[in-house]
Amino acid sequence: MYVPKHLRADVLWKNMKVGKRETHLYLTGGGALGSFQAGQLISLLLGAEAVKLLSLERAESFLSGADEMQDILKAMPEDWFKLSSLSGVSAGACNLAILGTYLSEGQGKLNRLKAAVHLIIFWLKDVPSMPSQLFYGRFYAMGKLPTNMKSWLSYMNLMTKPVPAEINPIIHAVEKHADFDRIRTSSMPMYVAVTDVISDSPLILTNQNLDARMIAASGAIEEWGMQAVDGLGEGAYHHNPYMPFLYDDKERSDKDPECALLLRLDHGLVAPKKRTSETRMAASAVKMFHAPVKRDIDLIRRKNKKEGRVLRLFESGLKRSHKFSPEDKADTSAEFLSKALAMGLAEGIKLLNGMPYKRI
């Protein structure tokens, strides 16, 4: 079938990168692998040359005022994505909060640099200092997880209580790097998925409803040790993440499709060498959170088949060649997060220099 040149995937992607087409940015959850996603985002924010000049040490010096990073600003490209909306869940919601804070005031070089600086400090300094039970509960490291969800729930009820929301470390870490007054007054729509834990129904929070507690709620899996926040918990059960351009009733034309970039952490994981109750549970969770992404991608395909290619989704994220396994989602050690972020930086550079690995 003939496709006009301006609607070819390679041309659309090229125009998205320089802001000639509006782009929706969708960020899946992934626990500690959110550092990989942050690495991709940092590369996209700074560009392939400037990102090589950034380090955690320079980021901290920038915030203290000791380093103005003029060399990085000079190396950053002038033309950049024109983000029209942000949507994230769980770890992706943490990244959204930081992006939204700084890009809500404009998407120029300085604001992009500020977002990149806060992303690297959040993932390489603040997250490693969080309690080890952050993602998978206080008994994860002790090797005492049951083999199925039902017995796990009973075990948690008998042996311990989830970490109270009031001491949820994500709340305090996100508050250090995000300004929700800016987010609430931003003209750029932002969406965070959560689940009402009583009715098990999805809720989509928008700018006016967002704060650090809601970002933490989006990743609060009570079964794994994190208490629901104000009755709200992990959003990826239903949306990973919410894709607003799929669910609204806006009229679209295949002559001018809407474009989105989805950064995925829900697939591309390899099976662990040794199977244990912990690895089986982690693998089960990956399948659970992969299902909403697969559903939405199938819906996009069906919508495009029925209406013409009105929605164009570009995908990037984890690959099997990265050799991450499901239980890596719980590894919040500085060593692992640094490794994952560095691999995300490299993948982000590839994304800038080439094409996303999947296009719909």
Q: Phi first, then psi: what are they for 207, rounded to 5°? A: -45, -50
Dihedral angle at the C-alpha atoms of 151, 290, 162, 271, nearest 10 degrees? 60
Question: Would you say 360 and 311 are in contact if contact means Cβ atoms under 8 Å apart?
Answer: yes
Mention every residue, 6+ apart, whose C-beta is less than 8 A from residue 200: 237
- C-alpha 248/C-alpha 292 separation (Å) is 17
> What does DSSP say about strands 190-196 and 82-88: parallel, antiparallel, or unpaired?
parallel
- Residue 318's pLDDT band (cuts 50, 70, 90): very high
The mean pLDDT value for 34-51 works out to 97
Among the listed residues 229, 211, 215, 31, the one whose alpha carbon sits nearest the alpha carbon of residue 133: 31
- C-alpha 333/C-alpha 95 separation (Å) is 18
Alpha helices in 221-276 (DSSP H): 244-247
Among the listed residues 152, 156, 98, 162, the one whose alpha carbon sits nearest the alpha carbon of residue 127: 98
Among the listed residues 175, 184, 97, 140, the one whose alpha carbon sits nearest the alpha carbon of residue 285: 140
Domain positions in the chain: 5-359
356 compared with 1, residue with greater pLDDT? 356
271 compared with 344, residue with greater pLDDT? 344
How is residue 126 annotated by DSSP? I
The reported pLDDT for the residue numbered 274 is 67
Helix and strand totals (H; E) in the chain: 13, 8
What average pLDDT is seen over the chain? Answer: 86
Q: Is the pLDDT of residue 1 over 60?
A: no
Distance of CA 335 to the CA centre of its chain: 20
Rg (CA), the chain: 20
Residue percentage of the chain with pLDDT more than 70:
83
167 compared with 80, residue with greater pLDDT? 80
The mean pLDDT value for 128-153 works out to 46
The reported pLDDT for the residue numbered 228 is 82
Both structure tokens of 109: 């070089």
CA angle 219, 224, 230 (to 5 degrees): 50
pLDDT tens per residue across span 58-104:
999 999 999 999 999 999 999 999 999 999 999 999 999 999 999 99
Omega before 202 within 30 of 0, i.e. cis: no
Among the listed residues 129, 151, 279, the one whose alpha carbon sits nearest the alpha carbon of residue 223: 151
Among the listed residues 171, 191, 176, 192, the one whose alpha carbon sits nearest the alpha carbon of residue 117: 176
- C-alpha 117/C-alpha 98 separation (Å) is 10
Question: Would you say 204 and 239 are in contact if contact means Cβ atoms under 8 Å apart?
Answer: yes
* Diameter of the chain measured on Cα atoms: 63
User: Which helix (H) or strand (E) is 205 found in, with range?
Assistant: strand 201-206
Query: Does CATH place domain 5-359 in 3.40.1090?
Result: yes
Q: Give the C-alpha distances (Å, rounded to integers) separating 199 from 117, 178, 216, 232, 278.
A: 39, 30, 19, 10, 28
> Hey, what amino acid is at 347?
E
Both structure tokens of 173: 């870490």
- Residue 157's pLDDT band (cuts 50, 70, 90): very low
pLDDT tens per residue across span 178-195:
999 999 999 999 999 999
Beta bridge partners of 191: 87, 206
The reported pLDDT for the residue numbered 147 is 38
How is residue 18 annotated by DSSP? T
SS3 at position 38: helix
Own/partner pairs for 297-304, CB < 8 Å, 24+ apart? 297/360, 299/246, 300/243, 300/246, 300/360, 301/360, 303/246, 304/254, 304/360
Stated pTM of the model: 0.89
The reported pLDDT for the residue numbered 115 is 98
